[in-house]
Amino acid sequence: MTYQEKKSIVSVVSTVLIFLIYCLYRYPQRPEFGLDSTDTFRYWGSFVLVLTIVSILAHIVISIGFTIIFRITTKEKEPGFADELDRLIELKSHRNSFFVFILGFVLAMGALVLEQPSDIMFIILIAAGFLSDLTGSISKLYHYRRGV
């Protein structure tokens, strides 16, 4: 298995773990009062912002850890650049990822149209963000293994 395939697998696993652990930690802190109160919006705003920051930092740390372990175990140096295949796969995975997010965004807006609580809209948006990230990583893994 090549560096890119292993990196994609690590990305899938870390995306799921970071999101699950963060949700298990933050979701129980959801404000009980008022469905559409200012606190609810503040809670979801901070949920997304902190998730973004935590996710970026965790991905950086995991990426460094992975690179170190890869070098030690395989005695190979990771590729220091992206070639034409990498760029093509990156484009395809971004396309799939954006498609999933846009679908989630439309569903979230649909929830508002159907007069669902704003909580539902935020949950759908956050889930769409997570699923789009996951779709991107899985698409990369698929194309690295099965070709383009």
Partner 1 sequence: MGNNLVGNHIRRLRFEHNEMTQQQLADKAGVTRQTIVALEKGNYSPSLELAFRIALVFDLTIEEVFFYGDPSDRSAR
Residue 50 or 91: the one with the smaller Cβ distance to partner 1 is 91
| Of 83, 61, 72, 74, residue with least CA distance to 14 | 61
Q: Name the one range near partner 1 by CB under 8 A: 54-62, 64-72, 83-91, 105-113.
A: 83-91
Q: Which two tokens stand for residue 39?
A: 């606190």
83 near partner 1, rule: CB under 8 A: yes
Q: Among 145, 133, 148, which Cα is nearest to 59's?
A: 133
Query: Which span (26-34, 79-87, 99-107, 117-125) binds partner 1, by CB under 8 A?
Result: 79-87
Sequential DSSP letters for 83-148: -HHHHHHHHHHHHHHHHHHHHHHHHHHHHHHTT--HHHHHHHHHHHHHHHHHHHHHHHHHHHHH--
Is 139 a binding residue for partner 1 by CB under 8 A? The answer is no
Q: Which stretch binds partner 1 (CB under 8 A): 1-9, 21-29, 114-122, 125-133?
A: 1-9
The contact set with partner 1 (CB under 8 A) reads 2-5, 76, 79, 81, 83-86, 144, 146-148
